[in-house]
Amino acid sequence: MIPLAMSSFHPYLRFYWQTLFMTHAEFTRRLEFGKEELLAYANGTLLNDGPSDMGRLPSPPLLMFDRIVDVRHEGSRGLIVAEQDIALDAWYFWCHFRNDPVQPGCLAVDAVWQLIGFYLMLRGVQGCGRALGCGAVDFAGQIRPHNRVVRYEVTIKRVSEFREADSAVAIGDANILVDGEAIYSMRDARVGAFRGIRYDDYPKLSRNARGGLPKEVSNDAGSV
């Protein structure tokens, strides 16, 4: 049973103790995901036969979308679209800023990186996801407490696998809309998946307890 204090702390915590099994093959064929499935994936309980070195989504409150509504694959390219329901009392509105609440634009940038990393996993790529950077980011609007839905439309321009380095990289462009209005854009967002860097035994001081540069990416790339 989940302690009362924990279940009241966040309404989605109860899903951390649920197992919503699907096979890895079923996962890679899915074209949409609900909130419960995203939470189970973040907790590592969605798949009953997932690869041991498979990447994860962040857990709330840093999981920045509530559902994935469209996934498409076209060779080494694709599309992933997600939606976020805006909560009047979201944690960031209380601190960013006092008496002038607005969702930080950097959280939308991170949402795009999260989605590109998840897209890599849907392509069957293994390894922990890491943001590698992006090109231009433009902010033309804002997200306020009484907005309703943010939509993230991410066009995957290329997925490449670097076999000698046990890694893969995806590059995409994103448009972010709030209640149907385009407010942000992000170009050449890059996310990599790297094997062997998972830090499962946190907070123990172990092999992956400290950061640094991942393995050098080889020039021997092939599309997946």
- Lookup result for tokens 């093959």: 25
The pLDDT value recorded for residue 154 is 98
pLDDT band at 3 (very low <50, low <70, confident <90, very high): very low
8-36: average pLDDT = 75
What is the Cα–Cα distance from 88 to 176, expressed in whole angstroms? 19
Predicted pLDDT at 20 = 65
Identify the three-state secondary structure at position 42.
helix
Say if domain 4-213 classifies as CATH 3.10.129.10.
Answer: yes
- State the pLDDT at residue 187: 98
Average pLDDT for 156-185:
95
pLDDT for res 165 = 78
The arithmetic mean of pLDDT across residues 29-58, rounded, is: 94
pTM greater than 0.85 (yes/no) = yes
Supply the DSSP string of 132-200, one letter for each residue: EE-S-EEE-----TT--EEEEEEEEEEEEEEGGGTEEEEEEEEEEEETTEEEEEEEEEEEEEETT---T
Q: Find residue 192's DSSP bridge partners.
A: 130, 169
Q: Where are the domains of the chain?
A: 4-213
73 is catalytic: no
User: What's the confidence (pLDDT) of residue 6?
Assistant: 42
Does 206 score more than 90 pLDDT?
yes
222 by Cβ neighbours in 10 Å (0-12 / 13-18 / 19+) ranks as exposed
As a whole-number percent, the residues of the chain with pLDDT over 90 amount to: 79
Q: Is the pLDDT reported for residue 2 higher than 50?
A: no
For the chain, give the percent of residues with pLDDT over 70: 86
Catalytic residue among 24, 73, 96, 146: 96
The pLDDT assigned to 214 comes to: 55
∠ CA 58-20-4 to the nearest 5 degrees? 70
3-class SS shares of the chain: helix, strand, coil, % to 5: 25, 35, 45
